[in-house]
Amino acid sequence: MKPDEKDKIPLFKTWRQWYIFVVLVLLVQIIIFYWITEYFA
Partner 1 sequence: MNQLDWIVLITTLAGIMAYGIYKSRTTRNLDGYFLSNRSMPWWLVLLSIMGTQASAVTFLAAPGQAYTDGMRFVQYYFGLPLVAIVVCVTFIPVFTRLKLITAYEYLEKRFDTKTRTFTSSLFLIQRGLSTGISIFAPSIILSTLLDWNIYWTNLFMGGLLIIYTVSGGARAVAYTQQLQLVIIFAGMFIAGYYVVKHLPANVGFTDALEVGGKLGRMNVITTGFTEGKGFDWGDRYNIISGMIGGFFLLLSYFGADQSQVGRYLTARSMTESRIGVLMNGIVKVPMQFLILLVGILVFTFYQFNKAPAFFNQKELTRLEQSPHRQELVLLQERQQVIQEQKKAVLTEYGVSQSEASIAQLRVLQGSSDSVRKAVQSLVKKNGGDDNDTNYIFLRFVIDYLPVGLVGLLIAIIFLASWGSIAAALNSLASSTVIDFHKRFSRKEASEEYDYKISKWYTLAWGLFCMSVAMFASNIGNSLIEAVNLLGSLFYGTILGVFLVAFYCKSVKGTAVFAGAIVAELLVVLLFMLNEYGVIGLGFLWLNAIGALAVVGFSYVAKLVWKN
Residues that bind partner 1 (CB under 8 A): 1-4, 7-10, 15, 18-19, 22-23, 25-26, 29-30, 33-34, 36-37, 39-41
CA–CA separation, 38 and 25 (whole Å): 20
DSSP 11: S
Nearest distance, CB of residue 20 and partner 1, angstroms: 9
Nearest distance, CB of residue 14 and partner 1, angstroms: 12
CA–CA separation, 11 and 17 (whole Å): 9
Taking the least distance from each CB to partner 1, the nearer of 13 and 39 is 39
CA–CA separation, 34 and 29 (whole Å): 8
